């Protein structure tokens, strides 16, 4: 039998390759290609900070441990990862070079000193002397001056200096001081720019007078992120006790990658590795700038050239809601489903605001994982508390890279009188759950919102997510039980309607897969459809393989990591896997078990990763309203027929981008946005007609 598993890390790199393909594709508007190039790099930075850092720790602490799908040791995974990254970076270098050629065609030039004349060079030297030289802090490494600490992802100029006596030393200058611009204007008339680090590197001899410059380069170090226990836990192997010890012993913020912009003598590279305690295999030579975030600044320069960008799209008002009426009353009349970014988040924000000022509302309870810098959600919760409501907010302080923002909001919530709790021991709270409790005619009524994405107004415009708003009292009671457990530092042990990790999600998913297996064995139609970000949970993968072997038809839409290889005869031949990478980040999670009227349909905050199903608090909600079920079926089917942005995972483990051919081109994301525009326009037309 051919292999049916793919290593998690290598699968993630294949996802980032699909991101890079968007930077390469001529069908992507030019400035959006710049975005994808920068996203590729920032994705890779985080991958090294989190995943490679974790593999290095495993290699130190448990070198013989093997992950549970491909059986690779930490060292074997690292070797495979580094090899794949070098190959991807060569492709990235070529794509970037082509992008810079095309940039000149839109009237912007990014130059170095080989591409400018004497007059421009003299102008830049004056700029360096006046605007930059006074602000930089050079260091010469020696007995009295140790090698400086290099900050994570900052750019430094490093130079080999030689005295007349032949003795050599290293000189280092930080290039990202934050007090001078990254893009230096060379010519406003011709829209010509140079990167600040290239300017510093060129004039570095002026900084180290009395020395001869023997060689020089820009460098950038990536450090192991200071991540929490949940992020350290490897989804593929059961090594909880190992991780407990690892957290105590690991060296925080150790370098995991060193990037160079120019070739340096091998001895010099060795010296740098020694100073930073980096192995030579983690050194990468780049032919692109070491930080591509400046590409967003270039976008701003040409912002008026609309043809270089995606067509402007604005989230539309959902036709399910009537303007000017109570949102709570409309939810009481029937379940509502918002689809971001195609539909606006405003009805949910309006519901929170309404609840904050409704005398009949007793309490608002909510889980917050990532929120916007200027959060209307949090402001509504603060207003509710100030109005005397009982407001309980679980703020997950362990949301990776959002810790500072969450800490600041938690302080403001506490100051306003909210009851704030900070997650659970051993579990991250990743659910997207909001419960409004209201007294109506002497009885308690629950209004529940369950989503697939964060309560973040910014990402609701660029991530695809789903948000269910329901007045179903059974769901409300189970949501209330979730919050009661969280308030006590516990997790719910059993549910009937909601799927709630860590105890009541994976087992129920497995049971529903088993239900389809039973149907297939009896010759009945059996079907499973799942849309998630990642698939790594070995228990679920094994059960899907069994289902495939029994004849269950399985469609998986997996944006990122997929450790299951489909189409392998005798094992996964009934499984199809596709990935959609496009203008918006595919983030919604949908579970479908069965077909037609008997299908059980859920939207969820959880991917099928062990960390989500067993190591986090996650919530999946059943879609019971027939119209909403039909809507989700239609959305899922549309994504299955995307032939513009979709890639299909083949049985050899490679992704193939689909092409329309003779079929009508279908870009699912553009289809959904146009649908939202048409529905909003239709509703407005009907409203206008009623006025006359």
Residues catalogued as catalytic: 430
Helices (H) and strands (E) in the chain, counts: 21, 27
Strand 192-195 with 109-110, pairing = parallel
Beta 433-440 vs 361-368: how paired, if at all?
antiparallel
Q: CA-to-CA distance for 534 and 8, rounded, in angstroms? A: 9
Helix (H) or strand (E) holding 368: strand 361-368
Dmax over CA atoms of the chain, in Å, equals: 94
If one counts every other C-beta atom within 10 angstroms of the C-beta of residue 43, the result is 16
Q: How many CB atoms lie within 10 A of CB 644?
A: 18
Which residues are CB-contacts of 457 (< 8 A; sequence separation ≥ 6)? 345, 349, 372, 375, 376, 377
Contact 177, 154 (CB under 8 A): no
Nearest to residue 77, comparing CAs of 292, 298, 309, 237? 237
How many angstroms separate the CA atoms of 381 and 364, rounded? 8
Measure the CA–CA gap between 508 and 666, rounded to whole angstroms: 34
Cβ atoms of 395 and 406 within 8 Å: the answer is yes
Number of CB atoms found within 10 A of residue 62's CB:
17
Whether the upstream peptide bond of residue 397 has omega within 30° of 0, thus cis, is no
Torsion sign across C-alpha atoms 113, 119, 122, 127? negative
* Spatial distance between the Cα atoms of 278 and 272, rounded to a whole number of angstroms: 8
CA dist., res. 446 & res. 500, Å (int): 18
Please check whether residue 629 is in contact with residue 546, taking contact to mean a CB–CB distance below 8 angstroms.
no
Nearest one of 1, 5, 12, 680 to 347, comparing CA atoms = 680
Cα–Cα distance measured from residue 457 to residue 405, given in angstroms and rounded to the nearest whole number: 14
Residue 326 structure tokens: 């109570």
Report which of 562, 579, 650, 546 is spatially closest to residue 5, judged by C-alpha positions: 562
Other CB atoms within a 10 A radius of the CB of residue 138 amount to 15
User: Is the link from the previous residue into 341 a cis peptide, with omega within 30 of 0?
Assistant: yes
CA 29 to CA 23: how far, in whole Å?
9
Give the C-alpha separation, 46 to 153, whole Å.
Answer: 10
3-state helix, strand, coil in the chain (%, to 5): 40, 20, 35
DSSP 600: E
Extract the tokens encoding 150: 């290099």
- Classify residue 661 as left (phi > 0), alpha (psi -120 to 50) or beta: left
Q: State the Cα–Cα distance between residues 687 and 692, nearest whole angstrom.
A: 9
CB 180 within 8 A of CB 135: yes
């Amino acid at each position: 039998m051919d292999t049916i598993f793919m290593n998690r890390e290598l699968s993630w790199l294949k996802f980032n390759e699909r991101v890079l393909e968007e930077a390469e594709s001529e069908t992507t508007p030019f400035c959006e290609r710049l975005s994808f190039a920068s996203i590729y790099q920032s994705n890779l930075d985080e991958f090294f900070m989190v995943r490679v850092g974790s593999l290095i720790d495993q290699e130190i602490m448990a070198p013989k441990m093997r992950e549970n799908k491909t059986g690779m040791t930490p060292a074997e995974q690292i070797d495979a990862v580094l090899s794949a990254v070098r190959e991807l970076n060569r492709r990235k270098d070529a794509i970037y070079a082509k992008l810079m050629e095309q940039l000149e065609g839109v009237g912007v030039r990014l130059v170095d000193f080989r591409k400018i004349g004497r007059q421009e060079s003299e102008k830049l030297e004056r700029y360096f002397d006046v605007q930059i030289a006074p602000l930089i802090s050079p260091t010469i490494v020696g007995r009295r001056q140790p090698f400086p600490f290099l900050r994570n992802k900052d750019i430094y100029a490093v130079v080999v200096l030689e005295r007349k006596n032949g003795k050599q030393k290293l000189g280092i200058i930080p290039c990202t001081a934050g007090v001078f611009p990254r893009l230096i204007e060379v010519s406003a008339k011709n829209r010509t720019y140079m990167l600040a680090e290239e300017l510093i590197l060129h004039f570095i001899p002026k900084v180290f007078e009395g020395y001869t410059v023997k060689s020089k380069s820009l460098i950038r170090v990536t450090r192991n992120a200071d991540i929490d226990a949940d992020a350290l836990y490897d989804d593929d192997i059961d090594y909880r006790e190992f991780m407990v010890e690892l957290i105590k012993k690991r060296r925080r913020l150790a370098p995991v990658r060193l990037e160079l912009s120019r070739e340096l003598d091998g001895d010099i590279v060795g010296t740098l590795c020694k100073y930073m305690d980096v192995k030579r295999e983690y050194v990468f030579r780049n032919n692109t700038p070491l930080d591509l975030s400046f590409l967003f600044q270039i976008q701003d320069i040409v912002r008026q050239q609309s043809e270089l960008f995606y067509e402007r799209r604005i989230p539309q008002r959902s036709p399910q809601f009537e303007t000017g009426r109570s949102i709570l009353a409309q939810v009481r009349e029937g379940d509502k489903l918002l689809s971001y970014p195609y539909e606006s988040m405003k009805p949910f924000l309006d519901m929170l605001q309404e609840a904050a000022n409704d005398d009949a509302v007793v309490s608002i309870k909510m889980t917050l994982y990532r929120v916007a810098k200027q959060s209307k959600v949090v402001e509504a919760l603060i207003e509710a508390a100030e109005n005397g409501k009982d407001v309980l907010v679980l703020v997950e302080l362990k949301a990776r890279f959002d810790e500072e923002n969450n800490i600041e909001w938690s302080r403001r919530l506490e100051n306003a009188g909210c009851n704030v709790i900070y997650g659970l021991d051993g579990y991250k709270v990743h659910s997207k759950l909001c419960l409004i409790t209201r007294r109506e005619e002497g009885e308690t009524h629950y209004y529940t919102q369950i989503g697939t994405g964060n309560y973040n107004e910014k990402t609701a415009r660029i991530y695809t997510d789903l948000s269910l708003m329901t007045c179903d009292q059974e769901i409300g009671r189970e949501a209330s039980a979730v919050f009661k457990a969280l308030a006590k530092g516990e997790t719910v042990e059993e549910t009937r309607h909601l799927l709630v990790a860590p105890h009541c999600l994976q087992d129920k998913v497995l049971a529903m897969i088993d239900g389809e297996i039973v149907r297939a064995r009896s010759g009945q139609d059996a079907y499973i459809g799942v849309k998630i970000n990642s698939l790594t949970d070995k228990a679920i993968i094994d059960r899907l393989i069994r289902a495939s072997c029994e004849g269950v038809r399985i469609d998986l839409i997996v944006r990122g990591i997929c450790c299951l290889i489909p189409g392998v005869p005798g094992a996964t031949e009934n499984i199809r896997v596709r990935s959609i990478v496009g203008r918006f980040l595919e983030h919604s999670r949908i579970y479908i078990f069965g077909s037609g009227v008997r299908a059980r349909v859920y939207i969820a905050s959880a991917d099928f990763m062990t960390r989500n199903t067993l190591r986090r608090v996650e919530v999946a909600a059943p879609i019971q309203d027939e119209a909403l079920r039909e809507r989700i079926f239609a959305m899922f089917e549309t994504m299955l027929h995307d032939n513009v942005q979709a890639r299909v995972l083949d049985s050899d483990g490679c992704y193939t981008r689909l092409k329309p051919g003779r079929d009508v081109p279908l870009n699912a994301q553009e289809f959904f946005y146009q649908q939202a525009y048409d529905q909003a326009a239709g509703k407005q037309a009907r409203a206008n007609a009623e006025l006359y």
